[in-house]
Structure 1
Amino acid sequence: MNVFPTYNRFPIHLVSGKGTVVIDEQGKEYLDFVSGIGVCNLGHRPDYVKEALKDQLEKVWHVSNLYEIPEQESAANWLTKFTELSQVFFCNSGAEANEAAIKLARKHTGKEKIVTFEKSFHGRTFAAMSATGQPKVHEGYGNLLPTFEYLPFNDTEAVKEIKSDTAAVMVEVIQGEGGVIEADVEFLEAVQEKCKEIGALFVIDEVQTGIGRTGYPFAYQHFDLDPDLVTSAKGLGSGFPTGAMIGKPELAESFSAGAHGSTFGGSPLASTAVKATLETIFQEDFLEEVKAKGNFLKEKLTNNLNQVDLVEQVRGRGLMIGIAMKEAALPIIKKLQTAGLLTVLAGPNVVRLLPPLTVTYPQLEKAVELITQSLVEYQAQLYSKTDAQK
């Protein structure tokens, strides 16, 4: 094997997919409720994005940011038109978007400290890893960057104690990797007010929650929030690697020529994928349908799993749902794979559901049926083992 063993891979080799359905090399079909971990928001191989990319492939692939890229400006326009933000820096991933936000916050404010929260996840590059509030991500790398401070998530009182030497506070509206944990509105408002009070930037990491995932262009729009910076990736390019940092106009002077850069960020191909994706998702009817599907899925799961003792809670917004378990969730993930449903962990005890935003109601019904059946069977197996050991 010539690839570093950095991933614990499941023994599944997917060879084709369309929409919500993927097929492995044995010909077995699955409903894909992972979507590349929230990447394929329009499902696999969306026709509109594919055709736009095919057209661009016949023109030019890469020119570098030394030259004007009209496709990049068009993509930036779509990213900002539904927000109060106006400036975009394109990169290649969520981690890079968060790195850009960290750099800009320090440069703009002249301060160094960045406050984040326990159980957060902001990426695996060194600064983004330092920003992540999970010790397991830090293990083995020695001293992290010393300018990060972690506070308890959803602790409004802790936010009030943030000091004036802080350059930025970075927060997720829903902690994805941390367990699909929603932020309280009072907590988010407290972060926003504290940032205004001390002259820090209010940064929202929307790498997983953005691009329609919760039924709005960005999840912070569920609330009356006014972030200085928003970071995006995952669903931004329908599977084409891309990321973006989006900011207020007054931040532009701090990111002038030479302040930051990316060889591949915002290439004609990437920008084409972004524009085509957003032209589809950032439509009112499309987003309303995501909200309706999310409510349907959450309600069905809550009702069906209400009598399953192993389940503590069904939580989340839109089509970002977590099933919190009293036991380790990995056995359930594997059981669902056997049943034909792909899901993903969010911490050790949470089954996370991230279906394409184009998922159909019959597919949602089928997924709920498979989840309910698998959990009931698994619970019976556990109880049977427990009884046998008595």
Structure 2
Amino acid sequence: MKQDFLKHQAQTSPHPLAMEISHAKGSYIYDKNNKAYLDFVAGVSACTLGHGHPKVVNAIKKQLDSYLHVMVYGEYIQEPAVELTKLLALHLPYPLEKTYLTNSGTEAIEGALKLAKRATGRSEIISANKAYHGNTMGSMSVMGFEERKQAFRPLLPNIKFITFNKELDLELITTKTACVILETIQGGAGFIEPKNNYLEKVRAQCDKVGALLILDEIQPGVGRTGKLFGFENYNCVPDILVSGKGLGGGMPIGAFTSSSKLMDLLQNTPKLGHITTFGGHPVIAASALATLQEVTESNLIANTLVKEELIRKHLVHPLIKEIRGKGLMLALIMPSSNIANQLILKAQDHGLILFWLLFEPKAVRITPPLTISNQEIISGCSIIINILDHI
């Protein structure tokens, strides 16, 4: 299987972890030898309710018996998608009331950027250094990491970059700016939170010059930071909200949400302003609806902050220089990339799944399912401390 994996499935790195998966349940993934691995990554923040959550699985099975794909996005009334977008609107502040469903986060970013240009008639886009918003051409254009995109230039023109949390840079947001796009918490850069009311100040500058604010919640969204969406922690409501990953409950999804006034612009001048065949797929929407219902109707969101404190309490070690992030979106900052690599690779040997971040080589990702138990957290932290003791 490994030979076929390497020969026939395109790889994105020279050394994939290449663990052969048998099944997954709850907070654990199992290999073909039936060895259990405690999952501290959740498919990179995607498996909000862990693996095989019965409410998600049942919703998927029920929809399978009704219908799969029947028509391109937006033409037919399909209950799972309607109920999902309605529930999102119920839990979002005004005027975030209308959602366009896509197949992935990066597709949602593309739609959001197009909408901002359509709404403002402007072309300048401002993003942040070390930002990551996906890997399609538009999303890559607003990626703030030249090493990862230089081979694919030319990309979108008229993109400017500011430094996250640097207030002086906000002067670059002008009447030429169509939109500012930021991650609410910078992910690939090392889980960097906004400081000193930064997002409020960005919001104010956008309002002053008539630019739109896009917040990328693909990672922090759906309960991971102690609120349903991360921006709720920072007193800043975006014009366009982008979500994905954890919204799908383990299924591929993306979404961008805005006011009806803005979203309705995609209907005309030109018609079909943004189109997709499989966006809003009924099986995926059913999975997302079940996930969002469970997250909003349970105590999982509040418990992320309790679990954060538990992780911080049990991960105290001289080699852990800092723990960044909020809720169950955390990153251990190690003294060097070498130590980070050792920890991640040795953890897999010890039955614990950790992972890297995109642009911060000293960081180790801890983004477990929201459903992880306190005892599982303590067990995973114990493995980490034991490994660090022997490095």
> What TM-score range do you get, normalising by the shorter chain?
over 0.9
Kept in 2: contact 1:38–1:234 (CA 8 A): yes
Displacement of 1:284 after TM fit?
5.6
Q: Which residue of 2 aligns with 1:13?
A: 20
Q: Which amino acid aligns with 1:314?
A: I
Aligned to 2:236: 225
Displacement after TM superposition at 1:81 (Å): 1.2
Is the contact between residue 230 and residue 245 of structure 1 (CA under 8 Å) also seen in structure 2? yes
Name which of structure 1's ranges 100-109 and 68-77 shifts more when overlaid on structure 2: 68-77
- Does 1:265 find its partner at 2:279? yes
Alignment-derived partner of residue 388 in structure 1 = none
- Structure 1 residue 5, shift from structure 2 partner: 2.5
SS at match of 1:89: strand
Match of 1:298 among 297, 312, 315: 312
Match of 1:318 among 321, 327, 350: 327
Offset at 1:46? 0.7
Q: d(CA) in 2 for partners of 1:4 and 1:55?
A: 33
Q: Which residue identity does 2:151 align to in structure 1?
A: G
> Which residue number corresponds to residue 3 of structure 2?
none
After superposing the two structures, state which structure 1 stretch, 290-299 or 18-27, moved more.
290-299
CA deviation after TM superposition for structure 1 residue 68, in Å: 1.8
- Aligned residue for 2:151, secondary structure, equals coil
What secondary structure is seen at the aligned counterpart in 2 of 1:103? helix
Q: Which moved more, 1:281-290 or 1:335-344?
A: 281-290
Q: Would you say 1:237 and 2:248 are equivalent positions?
A: yes
Q: Aligned with 2:376: secondary structure? A: helix
What CA distance in whole angstroms lies between the structure 2 residues aligned with 1:13 and 1:44? 16
Q: How does 1:10-49 map onto structure 2 within 5 Å?
A: 10-49=17-56
Q: For residue 46 of structure 2, what is the amino acid of its counterpart?
A: V
Q: CA deviation at 1:219?
A: 0.5
Partner Cα distance (1:127, 1:266) in 2: 21
| Residue in structure 2 matched with residue 68 of structure 1 by the alignment | 77
Residue 183 of structure 1 pairs with residue 194 of structure 2: yes
**How far did residue 300 of structure 1 move?**
2.7
How far did 1:250 drift?
Answer: 2.3
Deviation by residue 1:39-89 (Cα, 9 ceiling, x = unmatched) = 111000110010011011001001123322222110001112111210100
TM superposition score normalised by structure 1? 0.93
- Paired amino acid for 1:13: E
**Contact residue 172 and residue 183 of structure 1 kept, 8 A:** no
Match of 1:249 among 251, 260, 268: 260
1:298–1:315 CA contact under 8 A, matched in 2? no
SS of the residue corresponding to residue 140 of structure 1 reads: helix
Deviations 1:255-297 (A, max 9, x none): 2151111100002112111111100011362211222112221
Decide whether aligned partners of structure 1 residues 185 and 234 sit closer, same or farther in structure 2, where only a CA change above 3 A counts: farther
Provide the aligned C-alpha RMSD in A.
1.3
Distance in 2 (alpha carbons) for counterparts of 1:46 and 1:166: 43
The 10-residue stretch of structure 1 (61-70 or 147-156) with the greater mean CA deviation from structure 2: 61-70
| Unpaired segments ≥5 residues, structure 1 | 379-390
**Shift of the alpha carbon at 1:163?**
2.1
Residues of 1 paired with 2:379 and 2:300: CA distance?
A: 22
**Alpha-carbon distance between aligned partners in 1 of 2:248 and 2:237, rounded to the nearest angstrom:** 25
Contact map agreement 1:160 1:190 (CA 8 A) in 2: no
1:1-390 alignment runs, 5 A limit: 1-7=7-13, 8-64=15-71, 65=73, 66-84=75-93, 85-256=96-267, 257-283=271-297, 285-301=299-315, 304-305=316-317, 308=318, 310-328=319-337, 329-346=340-357, 347-378=360-391
State the alpha-carbon separation in 2 of the partners of residues 149 and 109 from structure 1: 17
Residues 156 and 186 in structure 1, CA contact (< 8 A), matched pair in contact too:
no
In structure 1, what is the Cα distance between the partners aligned to 2:117 and 2:341?
39
For the 8 Å contact 1:298–1:321, the answer to whether it is kept is no
Q: Which amino acid aligns with 1:348?
A: P
Aligned to 1:384: none
Do the aligned partners of 1:174 and 1:180 also contact (CA within 8 Å) in 2? Answer: yes
- Paired residue type of 1:250: K
What secondary structure, in the 3-state scheme, does the structure 2 residue paired with 1:174 have?
Answer: coil
Secondary structure of the 1:81 match is helix
Structure 1 contact 195–202 (Cα < 8 Å) conserved = yes
SS of the aligned residue for 1:42 comes to coil
5+ long unaligned stretches in structure 2: 1-6
Aligned equivalents of 1:291, 1:312: Cα separation in 2: 21
CA contact (8 A) 2:115 2:263 kept: no
d(CA) in 1 for partners of 2:22 and 2:150? 34
1:253 Cα offset (Å): 2.9
Distance 1:136 1:59 in 2: 46
**Which stretch has the larger CA shift, 132-141 or 4-13?**
4-13
TM-score, normalization by structure 2: 0.93
* Residues 296-338 of structure 1, C-alpha deviations (whole Å, 9 max, x = no match): 212332xx22xx1x32211110101110112111121101111
How far the C-alpha of 1:91 sits from its partner, in A, is 0.3
Structure 1 position 136, deviation (Å) = 2.3
State the distance in 1 between where 2:313 and 2:325 align: 11
